[in-house]
Structure 1
Amino acid sequence: MTLWIVFVAVLAVVLLLLLVPLLRRQVQAPSRVAYDIVVYRDQLAEVERDVERGLLSAEQAEAARTEILRRMRAAEDAEIESPSGDYRLAAGRRLRLGAALVILIGLPVGSFGVYAVLGTPWLPGQPYASRQADPDLKMTQLADNLAAQLKVKPEADGFATLAETYFALRRYPEAAEAFRRALSMGLIDAQMLASLGEAITLQNNGEVIEDARRAFQQAMTLDNADPRARFYLGLAKAQAGRFAEAVSIWRDLEKDSPSDAPWLPMLKEHIATYARQGGFDPASIKPVPPAPEGTKTADGANPHTGAAGGLPESKQAAAVMAQAPEDRAKTIKGMVEGLAARLQQNPDDVEGWQRLARSYQALNDLGHAREAAERAVKLRPKAVEPKLTLAEIQLAAAKTNRLPADFVETMRAVMAIEPNNDRAMYYVGAAEAQDGHPDQARKIWSRLLEILPPDSPHRPELVKQLAELPGTK
């Protein structure tokens, strides 16, 4: 009520300041004609004085009087023909009254209309005491106090509590940073890593970016049943347009979830939505858990490697992942340099060169990644795995949407060694379609369909691409 009284008082003052000048009585100024007549009368009097002083003769005086009187009559005639002063004054008064009426009605109505749309007039007043009792305010004060204490005496449990408080307040950037601090101080478990990934995702408006995906993957390393990590890893697939893989992961989570799990309704809705977008029946997709780090996918998509390529899937790797991006890059770079130095002492280590290639790829150093992968291929020219590692790097270095020639050449070499390699078959078929050879693409992909299991999450997309080839009936 106090707020409304203030509003009305302010409105009244504003109206008063606007209306008083408009409604004040206007004093009519003399017209131009009246001023001219006064001047002419003075001129007549001046003529009489000049006659008395002998400055004008009778004839001159009569001529001057005649001219002045003529001008005076002309001025009087003009005054009769022009609108009267009263008329002009009345017209001006009507305009001012109209403007005052518009202000008097329009300003209050407009002000309250805008407030009704943009404000919250339905909310009850909140006295200071009730605002002090607001839970969000108390949590904010708690978070600020705890953050101040942790600056003086940092500890892992304190940062974990601070992170959860920030998360509850929807302050996701601060929550993510606090989760990282707790992890870097040794408080490493699947729940903490999943919370970090969720905070990063919500900070980015629901997009599972690479930092978040790595956090969820590390959570799965420590607990492969963590429901949040499994859900968001599926969401990452869906956001990449790989709907069948997303549904496959979510169906696996649905299978393992209790019947009263709070996330189950949302999970089922996501399964139905993305299956509809992908144009397939979700029941036709086999439930499959998220692939571990570095696992090759059947559709040939670039696999996600660990934070340092050859890092062990352990709490050590999770601790590296929990670092801030700048610190993590320095740590990974140091590990990669150490691995490269060891390989100089043991240059025949094929697996080591492959790990080094993936590590450089994780650092986006594709030039060194390619060199390391080519060393592995030279050491084992008849092996498929080194060639696939090289192909991943060649594809990552592509400058356009077309499959690069060196990548296609490597995939053809894989097919020459292993004719039924599903990744090589997919990409060689895609290369044939890209080069305008739909019959060759159809032949390779049709054989790939025969190899893929009926419930493979990659079948729907492959069937769709086959149907889109020119000449398909």
Structure 2
Amino acid sequence: MLLWLGFAVLTAGVVAALLRPLLVGTPTDTSLQPTGTAVYRDQLAEIEADRARGLIAETEAEAARVEIARRLLATADATKDAPGTAASRELRTVATVVAAALPVLAIAVYLAVGAPNQPGQPFAARGPAPGAAPSVAQLVAKVEERLRSHPEDGRGWDVIAPVYLRLGRYPEAADAFQRALRLVGESTDRLAGLAEAHVLANDGIVTEIARKSYERLRELAPDRMEPRFWLAVAAEQDGRFEDAVKVYAQLLTEGEAAAPWRPMVEARWQTMRTKLGLATEPAPTAKKDAAPEAKSTGLAPALANEDVRAIQSLPDDARKQMIEDMVAGLDKRLRDNGRDLEGWQRLIRAYTVLGRREDALAALARARAAMTGEAQSLEALGALAQSLGLAS
């Protein structure tokens, strides 16, 4: 209530300042009153002096005094009855009433149509505006608030851990993955996330926790290349260059000929050979079976083996044009039907292999928009972007 009284006082002060010219009043002829009275007084003194010197008779002096008195009274009456004086009094009255009534009227209107009894709501606690989608920061804040009051909510830690990882909050991601593993159980995604968070939090160093996670991940998913690569990096960091060279060579042999990670692995393979004092030689090549070659276009498994052989038999220009046409066709199909995660992955890989990075980024953005609300699909797209060097 004191707040509203303060508002009322402030309003009254503002109104008074605006109406000040009316409260002060306007100049009138009353400012001439002191000067007029002095003139008449001087005239009376001159008449008395002339009578004393015998210049005028007593009768004439008396008549002059009466005339001066009449003028003095007329001047006083004119000043009293001047319209400006009465108007000033009326304006002062109106100004006083307005200054007093306006705050009272404002409070009365607010009490009638407002909600003075509603509790205050801090800005930080307010939700998004109606119809507006909450931001990532708001969603993360909500999950964090729940986890503070329910720290044993394994599902909450499982949800927020990959979000922390994508936001670059690596130490928090590592802690969240660790809690999710303890509370929800072991899975390949949680092990991979825990290992990745530790590696990124330590500037590429494969820590002991990351190494154990990758070793366990390799047991659960022996076909995945990610744990094998990082275990080779760990061997490098431990000075076991021979072990690292063997793993890199095996990856290059088993991997796709056009895999985006291949140049990086080749560079590390050559570096390890140099440290071992081995002679420079061409990097191991991928196996020459049909399936990997189909994947090397970035369109697998959209192509059958016959299609692959047909493409390989064409001249370079014709083969490139056919691949471009197939990529364009896939792009068009996904514009019409965007709920195809595998199609988006093939398109993004294809653009990357073709060196069209901007198109790959645009396709990644469209894929994420099409997969809004599907956490697993979005996570798969994020992992693909990370592996292709498209993550921002």
Instruction: Indicate the TM-score class for this superposition, using the shorter chain for normalisation.
Output: 0.3 to 0.5
Given the two structures, how large is their TM-score scaled by the length of structure 2? 0.39
Larger radius of gyration: 2
